[in-house]
């Protein structure tokens, strides 16, 4: 980190750049809205008009210390819908989240390389022979390109006004005619990424920057530029993702999809780790900011050094990198029908979902399947009639299938707002003259399987005590659950503390694997209305919180108020486990069948990271997990005492970052229920 | 087969030897070091541990108890606490079961050049159990951590049956040792002599407590004592843990002492003393 970057970092952290922001006045908002909130105007027209106006209203600001330009100056811009219009649409359609194109990993690489002019020419040449709808689409794409170009021109003018004409030329020319330099490529990336957020599309994934920028890196090296200089530039680039992130739409601060995926393999399967992989990791380590989140693709052949570097990043307490196991994920994606080259090119979506850059428009979070509830209902309604564990599991499978079939009906008639800007940045939309909202090569849906551990633990408890030693009868268990264990504290103790638990007791692994298998089987062969399939996963996102609603107590001794386990992690508050039992328990052979993902979260007390030797050991632990066939891992450096203290004195812990599910967030900003859960999760810390 | 008593099995113990390791904590210790931060390890009997912080005062634990004046660790209260705030520290186990438990993760331990470390409490206090464990834990790499306070003939057997030893040497002066730990250091130094001339790799750990053993004289004497030890890998200085008293309340005990942690400069000076005798020295 050179002194300019240090100053930039201070500048960004002190949020001085925010003085350039403003709210639109009511009159301005009204005036703008009157140009596109027009009933009867096609949505694609509205979208484009809004985008043009928003981009044009943005004032160019050249911040000090940085060489990568582009700053949001307008806080909010009116939406394209007339009042009540979206609600009308909702009556006849399923609207996923906000109905906007989101969670895409774009083909930045292509647009940066070709330049906007070439993309515009392509769009123009496709006008020939286009029908009316296609024509409208292509014209909108061209208008979006013009709007971006106009925006870049004003930035270039501003740079010229400041006497920085070389920079001005580079910014404009490389964006319009194709990038030649690494800095030019990064600058173009910044502007395109900026444009996505302006358009209202969100969770724009950053992707494989160590691969996408590598040709530019090599060109710089050939010119004699040192790695140190390049790292400074990468730091500058990474910092740019923190300028506007508080304005980005997200479920919680930090959940904005700005994820980078590093390492992994190339389309031919060769190791893709290169000098930029290390530079990016070190740059992230230096700037220590919440964005962008780093995902590290690893495999059984990843050397320990890369894990060590990752561990150093974990030590900063940012809650990343998240490790993704290529051996499991690629095989899993192939099974679901992804072509090998595409599968090998996967990146982490907003949280952990493997998605395919440029050619994938999967909705990996279409819904959550409440595994804990389905198991509980299986027990409540059928345990008394079942004579064996096998019988019970068969009933569970049937109920799971029924639940999924019914649930799939909820997502019929999907509504998706058009997006010529996202279409520009995905592959083949221009060639196919079709907006991305209508789908692309991969249009799959992903289901989270939530409450996984509570599902396993319930079945394991039944196996041990109802079918096993007979110490609890079916109706005793059902009655106790009904009563939330109020009159049976001893049974609660037995079930919650003594009963076998996944992530502690090896014998539960069979049930865990069975559940993954059944989940995959239940989705096998199902088609969604967009021509895609369904991807099973082990994540929970917010569902483990939502799915407590009406669940009541469960057969694993969990009472109605206790949260479910998040993602693919042990039930809360289990004692007597440790990192080895956890990584062993959660590296299940059938994980490759559930590649929608959802990580195991392992929290280690931050004092564990206190020496080089300890870093190596933590790296070994992660490597071992991957070699044992674990699919995804989030490792957090958390200090339990610190968290309890943070609850009591939140004002002193404004900077404390934890990773909650797919994202990092500021602890003090989370609701108490999440805070409590994180505190409980640190129990197997060292 | 002898039964032993342990109070914890800790996976991924990063401070207790090479590679990825599991540490097993033996319960019971004949020493009473005033800076002890692990009061669970003192008594060789099971004890209850209560998280008073989160107690809602429902008294269910008191109502169920048949032995209010003399806890027998029956566990009745543990099972009735609605908040799950009580647990029993101390599990009786035989060597075969312990080894089986640890070996559940033999693949992880062996692949990474790690193994198991037996610590405490004081492992030498359960000699027969200890020797059986060392035997049954093979082929894992086995380390022990000990105060060295034990019968020299037992110590010799342990030395010959283990791969690695962490030995605490608190101070060289016998009277002071008795005053601060409750026992003389005579046996400890005798066992240290065996290590010095034996074939087992070892590390000496010194808890460094201000006003107790951080004086130049004590450190110099320790260094002189160790300088000709052929299998001594290094000396590790462990500065006093300011949170030493934190666990006492959980056991319904009071922590009565208060010491100062040595500063960085002092630690550095201590390190230099050992290095000047040709002994590698690390600061924990
Ligand atoms: S374990 Fe609890 S119930 Fe049993 S004797 Fe001790 S205090 Fe009483
Ligand atoms: S049973 Fe638990 S909550 Fe109730 S008084 Fe005892 S320790 Fe406190």
> Would residue A622 count as lying in a domain?
yes
Closest protein CA for atom 7 of ligand 2: B55
Q: For ligand 1, is residue B75 a contact (CB within 6 Å)?
A: yes
Interface test with B, best of A300, A486, A570, A580 (most B CBs within 10 A): A580
SS (HEC) of A559-614: CCCCCCCCCCCCCCCCCCCCHHHHHHHCCCHHHHHCCCCCCEEEEEEHHHHCCHHH
What is the pLDDT averaged over residues B78-87?
A: 88
Q: Helix (H) and strand (E) counts for chain B?
A: 10, 11
Number of A–B residue contacts, CB under 8 Å:
68
Q: Please provide the DSSP assignment of A78-132 as one string.
A: --SSPTTHHHHHHHHSEE-TTSS-BS-B--HHHHHHH-HHHHHHHHHHHHTT--H
Report the alpha-carbon distance of residue B10 to residue B20 in Å, rounded.
11
Complex ipTM, two decimals?
A: 0.94
Report the alpha-carbon distance of residue A600 to residue A602 in Å, rounded.
6
CA distance B61 to chain A (A): 11
On the question of pLDDT at A437 being above 60, the answer is yes
Q: Please give the residue of chain B at the shortest CA–CA distance from A686.
A: B13
Q: Is B105 on the interface with A (CB under 8 A)?
A: yes
What is the pLDDT averaged over residues A224-237?
A: 98
Convert the pLDDT of each residue in A367-402 to its tens digit: 999 999 999 999 999 999 999 999 999 999 999 999
Q: Which of residues 493-552 of A touch B (CB under 8 A)?
A: 493-494, 496-497, 506
Rg (CA), chain B: 20
State the DSSP H helix or E strand holding residue A145, giving kind and residue range, or none if neither: helix A132-161
A568 and A675 in a single domain? The answer is no
Q: Which residues of A touch B15 (CB under 8 A)?
A: 614
**Between A642 and A317, the higher pLDDT residue:** A317
Range of the domain at A300: 203-352+602-686
Residues A352/A322, Cβ–Cβ less than 8 Å = yes
A373 and A334 in a single domain? The answer is no
Query: What is the number of domains present in chain A?
Result: 2
Report the alpha-carbon distance of residue A181 to residue A179 in Å, rounded.
6
On the question of pLDDT at A683 being above 50, the answer is no
On the question of pLDDT at A91 being above 50, the answer is yes
Contact between chains at A579 and B13 (C-beta distance less than 8 A): no
What is the pLDDT averaged over residues B209-230?
A: 94
On the question of pLDDT at A649 being above 50, the answer is yes
A572 and A607 in a single domain? The answer is no
A447 and A413 in a single domain? The answer is yes
Residues A5/A232, Cβ–Cβ less than 8 Å = yes
Query: Residue A280 has which token pair?
Result: 């990016």
Whose CA is closest to A369, among A167, A587, A148, A534?
A534
> Which among A496, A618, A627 has the least Cβ separation from residue B84?
A496
End-to-end CA distance of chain A: 33
Query: Residue A456 has which token pair?
Result: 């396993």
> Would residue A179 count as lying in a domain?
no
A553 and A438 in a single domain? The answer is yes
Closest protein CA for atom 8 of ligand 2: B55
A339 and A294 in a single domain? The answer is yes
Q: For ligand 1, is residue B134 a contact (CB within 6 Å)?
A: no
Convert the pLDDT of each residue in B104-155 to its tens digit: 999 999 999 999 999 999 999 999 999 999 999 999 999 999 999 999 999 9
- Binning pLDDT at 50, 70 and 90, where does residue A685 land? very low
Residue whose token pair is 């990843």: A302
Interface test with A, best of B6, B7, B10, B14 (most A CBs within 10 A): B14
On the question of pLDDT at A76 being above 60, the answer is yes
Q: Is A490 on the interface with B (CB under 8 A)?
A: yes
Q: What is the torsion angle, in degrees rounded to the nearest 10, for the CA atoms of residue A521, residue A522, residue A525 and residue A526?
A: -160
Report the alpha-carbon distance of residue A325 to residue A346 in Å, rounded.
11
Instruction: Please compute, for residue A254, the number of CA atoms within 13 A of its CA located in the half-sphere on the CB side.
Output: 24
Report the alpha-carbon distance of residue A31 to residue A37 in Å, rounded.
10
A384 and A415 in a single domain? The answer is yes
Closest protein CA for atom 2 of ligand 1: B77
What pLDDT, on the 0 to 100 scale, is given for residue A250? 66
Q: For ligand 1, is residue B77 a contact (CB within 6 Å)?
A: yes
Closest protein CA for atom 2 of ligand 2: B81
What pLDDT, on the 0 to 100 scale, is given for residue A339? 98
Residues B162/B193, Cβ–Cβ less than 8 Å = no
Q: For ligand 1, is residue B85 a contact (CB within 6 Å)?
A: no
What pLDDT, on the 0 to 100 scale, is given for residue A267? 96
What pLDDT, on the 0 to 100 scale, is given for residue B176? 95
Residue A173: partners with Cβ closer than 8 Å, 6 or more residues away: A184
Contact between chains at A686 and B78 (C-beta distance less than 8 A): no
On the question of pLDDT at A237 being above 60, the answer is yes
What is the pLDDT averaged over residues B170-190?
A: 96
> Would residue A507 count as lying in a domain?
yes
Query: Residue B243 has which token pair?
Result: 């949170």
Average pLDDT, chain B: 93
For residues A445-460, one letter each, b for 16 or more C-beta atoms within 10 angstroms of the residue's C-beta and e for the rest, the string is: bbbbbbbbbbbbbbbb
What pLDDT, on the 0 to 100 scale, is given for residue A660? 44
> Would residue A237 count as lying in a domain?
yes
Q: Can you say how many angstroms the Cα of residue A633 is from the centroid of all Cα atoms in its chain?
A: 13
The preferred substitution site among B50, B55, B75 for testing ligand 1, maximizing ligand atoms within 8 Å of CB, is B75
How large is the angle between the packed helices A371-382 and A389-409, nearest 10 degrees?
130
> Which among A575, A576, A580 has the least Cβ separation from residue B108?
A580
> Which among A506, A573, A608 has the least Cβ separation from residue B14?
A608
What is the pLDDT averaged over residues B190-203?
A: 96
Contact between chains at A580 and B20 (C-beta distance less than 8 A): yes
A577 and A614 in a single domain? The answer is no
The preferred substitution site among B61, B63, B78 for testing ligand 2, maximizing ligand atoms within 8 Å of CB, is B61
Convert the pLDDT of each residue in B48-73 to its tens digit: 988 776 788 999 999 999 999 999 99
On the question of pLDDT at A251 being above 60, the answer is no
The preferred substitution site among B72, B85, B91 for testing ligand 1, maximizing ligand atoms within 8 Å of CB, is B72
Q: Is B10 on the interface with A (CB under 8 A)?
A: yes
Report the alpha-carbon distance of residue A169 to residue A160 in Å, rounded.
9
Is residue A76 exposed (0-12), middle (13-18) or buried (19+ Cβ within 10 Å)?
A: exposed
> Would residue A78 count as lying in a domain?
no
Q: Is B267 on the interface with A (CB under 8 A)?
A: no
A557 and A606 in a single domain? The answer is no
Proximal ligand: closest to the CA of B54: 2
Closest protein CA for atom 1 of ligand 2: B81
Share of residues in chain A with pLDDT > 90 (%) = 84
> Would residue A180 count as lying in a domain?
no
- Which of B82-87's residues contact partners 24+ apart within 8 Å by CB, and which partners? B82/A489, B82/B56, B82/B58, B83/B51, B83/B54, B83/B55, B83/B56, B84/A493, B84/A496, B84/A497, B84/A573, B85/B50, B85/B51, B85/B52, B85/B54, B85/B55, B86/B48, B86/B49, B86/B50, B86/B51, B86/B61, B87/A575, B87/B48, B87/B49
What is the pLDDT averaged over residues A594-598?
A: 96
Contact between chains at B19 and A620 (C-beta distance less than 8 A): yes
- Binning pLDDT at 50, 70 and 90, where does residue B196 land? very high
Q: Which atom of ligand 1 is nearest to the CA of B68?
A: 8
Q: For ligand 1, is residue B80 a contact (CB within 6 Å)?
A: no
> Would residue A153 count as lying in a domain?
no
Interface test with A, best of B12, B234, B245, B246 (most A CBs within 10 A): B12
> Would residue A128 count as lying in a domain?
no
Ranges A22-31, A414-423, A524-533, A564-573: which has the least confidence: A564-573
Report the alpha-carbon distance of residue B21 to residue B114 in Å, rounded.
5
Residues A217/A237, Cβ–Cβ less than 8 Å = no
A404 and A542 in a single domain? The answer is yes
Please state the pTM of the whole predicted model. 0.93
Instruction: Please compute, for residue A589, the number of CA atoms within 13 A of its CA located in the half-sphere on the CB side.
Output: 5
Report the alpha-carbon distance of residue A109 to residue A188 in Å, rounded.
10
**Which residue, A598, A631, A647, sits at the end of a domain?**
A598
Q: What are φ and ψ of residue A74, in 5° steps?
A: -110, 125
State the DSSP H helix or E strand holding residue B143, giving kind and residue range, or none if neither: strand B141-146
Alpha helices in A507-578 (DSSP H): 509-523, 543-546
Average pLDDT, chain A: 93
Q: Which residues of B touch A575 (CB under 8 A)?
A: 87
**Which residue, A598, A613, A632, sits at the end of a domain?**
A598
A403 and A524 in a single domain? The answer is yes
Query: Residue B54 has which token pair?
Result: 């989160």
Query: In the structure, which protein residues have their CB atom closer than 6 angstroms to any atom of ligand 2?
Result: B 50, 55-61, 81, 83, 85-86
Q: Which residues of A touch B11 (CB under 8 A)?
A: 577-581
Residue B261 is given by DSSP the state P
Convert the pLDDT of each residue in A184-202 to its tens digit: 999 999 999 999 999 999 9
What is the pLDDT averaged over residues B170-188?
A: 96
Alpha helices in B112-199 (DSSP H): 127-136, 152-160, 174-181, 186-197
On the question of pLDDT at A233 being above 70, the answer is yes
What is the pLDDT averaged over residues A71-93?
A: 95
Convert the pLDDT of each residue in A460-471 to its tens digit: 999 999 999 999
What is the pLDDT averaged over residues A545-550?
A: 89
What pLDDT, on the 0 to 100 scale, is given for residue B130? 98
What pLDDT, on the 0 to 100 scale, is given for residue A256? 85
Q: Please give the residue of chain B at the shortest CA–CA distance from A612.
A: B14
Residues in chain A: 686
Query: Residue A163 has which token pair?
Result: 């006497």
CA distance B16 to chain A (A): 11
**Which residue, A566, A598, A630, sits at the end of a domain?**
A598
A390 and A486 in a single domain? The answer is yes
Residue A498 is given by DSSP the state I
Q: Which residues of B touch A497 (CB under 8 A)?
A: 84
């Amino acid at each position: 980190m050179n002194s300019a970057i240090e100053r930039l970092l201070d500048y960004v952290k002190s949020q001085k750049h925010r003085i350039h922001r403003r709210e639109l006045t009511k009159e301005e908002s009204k005036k703008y809205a009157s140009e596109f909130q027009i009933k009867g105007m096609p949505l694609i027209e509205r979208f484009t008009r809004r985008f043009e106006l928003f981009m044009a209203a943005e004032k160019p600001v050249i911040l000090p210390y940085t060489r990568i330009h582009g700053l949001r100056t307008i806080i909010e811009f009116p939406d394209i819908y007339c009042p009540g219009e979206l609600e009308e649409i909702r009556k006849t359609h399923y609207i996923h989240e906000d109905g906007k194109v989101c969670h895409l990993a774009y083909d930045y690489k292509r647009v940066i390389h070709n330049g906007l002019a070439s993309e515009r020419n392509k769009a123009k040449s496709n006008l020939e022979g286009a029908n009316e709808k296609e024509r409208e689409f292509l014209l909108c794409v061209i208008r979006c390109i013009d709007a971006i170009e106009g925006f870049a021109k004003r930035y270039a003018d501003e740079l010229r006004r400041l006497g920085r004409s070389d920079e001005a030329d580079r910014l404009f020319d490389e964006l319009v005619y194709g990038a030649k330099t690494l800095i030019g490529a990064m600058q173009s990336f910044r502007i395109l990424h900026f444009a996505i957020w302006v358009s209202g599309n969100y969770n724009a994934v950053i992707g494989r920057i160590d691969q996408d920028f590598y040709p530019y890196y090599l060109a710089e090296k050939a010119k004699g530029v040192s790695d140190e200089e390049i790292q400074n530039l990468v730091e500058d680039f990474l910092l740019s993702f923190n300028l506007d992130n508080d304005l980005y739409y997200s479920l919680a601060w930090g959940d904005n999809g700005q994820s980078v995926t590093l390492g992994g393999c190339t389309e031919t399967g060769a190791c893709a780790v290169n000098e930029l992989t290390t530079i990016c990791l070190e740059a992230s380590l230096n700037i220590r900011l919440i964005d962008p989140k780093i995902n590290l693709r690893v495999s059984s052949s990843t050397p320990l050094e890369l894990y060590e570097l990752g561990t150093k990043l974990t030590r900063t307490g940012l809650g990343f990198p998240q490790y993704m196991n290529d051996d499991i994920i690629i095989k899993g994606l192939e099974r679901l029908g992804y072509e090998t080259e595409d599968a090998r090119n996967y990146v982490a979506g907003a949280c952990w979902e493997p998605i395919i850059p440029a050619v994938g428009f999967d909705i990996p979070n279409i819904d959550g399947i409440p595994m804990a509830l389905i198991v509980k209902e299986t027990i409540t309604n059928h345990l008394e009639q079942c004579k064996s564990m096998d019988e019970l599991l068969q009933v569970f499978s049937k109920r799971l299938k029924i639940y999924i079939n019914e649930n799939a009906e909820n997502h019929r008639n999907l509504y998706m707002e058009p997006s010529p800007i996202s279409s520009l940045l995905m592959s083949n939309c221009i060639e196919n003259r079709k907006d991305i909202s209508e789908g692309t090569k991969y249009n799959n849906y992903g289901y989270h399987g939530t409450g996984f551990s509570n599902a396993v633990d319930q079945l394991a408890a039944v196996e041990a005590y109802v079918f096993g030693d007979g110490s609890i009868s079916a109706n005793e268990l059902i009655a106790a659950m009904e009563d939330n264990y109020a009159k049976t504290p001893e049974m609660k103790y037995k079930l919650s503390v003594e009963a076998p638990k996944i992530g502690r007791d090896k014998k539960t692994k069979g049930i865990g694997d069975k559940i993954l298998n059944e989940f995959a089987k239940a989705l096998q062969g199902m088609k969604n209305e967009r021509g895609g399939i369904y991807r099973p996963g082990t994540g929970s996102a917010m569902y483990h919180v939502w799915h407590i609603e009406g669940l009541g107590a469960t057969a694993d001794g969990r009472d109605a108020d206790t949260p479910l386990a998040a993602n693919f992690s042990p039930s809360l508050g289990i004692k007597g486990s440790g990192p080895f039992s956890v990584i062993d328990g959660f590296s299940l052979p059938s994980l490759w069948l559930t590649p929608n993902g959802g990580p195991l979260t392992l929290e280690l007390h931050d004092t564990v990271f206190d020496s080089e030797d300890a870093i190596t050991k933590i790296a070994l632990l992660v490597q071992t997990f991957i070699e044992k066939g674990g699919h995804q891992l989030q490792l957090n450096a958390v200090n339990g005492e610190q968290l309890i203290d943070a609850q009591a004195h939140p004002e002193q812990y404004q900077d404390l970052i934890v990773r909650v599910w797919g994202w990092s967030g500021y602890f003090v900003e989370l609701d108490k229920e999440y805070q409590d859960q994180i505190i409980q999760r640190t129990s197997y810390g060292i | 087969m002898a039964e032993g008593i342990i109070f914890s099995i800790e996976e991924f113990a990063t401070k207790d030897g090479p590679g990825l390791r599991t540490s097993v904590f033996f319960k019971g210790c004949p020493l009473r070091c005033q800076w002890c931060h692990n009061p669970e390890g003192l008594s060789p009997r099971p004890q209850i541990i209560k998280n008073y912080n989160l107690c809602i005062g429902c008294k269910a634990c008191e109502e169920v108890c048949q032995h209010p004046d003399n806890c027998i660790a029956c566990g009745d209260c543990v099972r009735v606490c609605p908040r799950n705030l009580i647990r029993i520290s101390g599990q009786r186990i035989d060597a075969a079961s312990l080894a089986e438990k640890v070996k559940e993760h033999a693949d992880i331990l062996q692949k990474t050049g790690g193994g198991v470390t037996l610590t405490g409490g004081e492992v030498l206090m359960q000699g027969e159990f200890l020797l059986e464990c060392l035997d049954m834990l093979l082929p894992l790499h086995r380390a022990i951590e000990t105060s060295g306070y034990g019968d020299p003939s037992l110590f010799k057997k342990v030395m010959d049956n283990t791969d690695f030893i962490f030995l605490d040497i608190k101070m060289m002066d016998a009277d002071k040792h008795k005053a601060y730990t409750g026992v003389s250091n005579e046996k400890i130094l005798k066992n240290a002599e065996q290590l010095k001339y034996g074939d087992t790799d070892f590390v000496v750990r010194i808890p460094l407590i201000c006003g107790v053993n951080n004086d130049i004289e004590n450190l110099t004497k320790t260094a002189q004592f160790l300088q000709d030890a052929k299998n001594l890998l290094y000396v590790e200085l462990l500065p006093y843990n300011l949170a030493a008293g934190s666990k006492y309340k959980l056991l319904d005990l009071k922590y009565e002492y208060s010491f100062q942690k040595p500063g960085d400069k002092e630690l550095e000076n201590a390190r230099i003393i050992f290095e000047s005798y040709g002994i590698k020295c690390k600061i924990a």
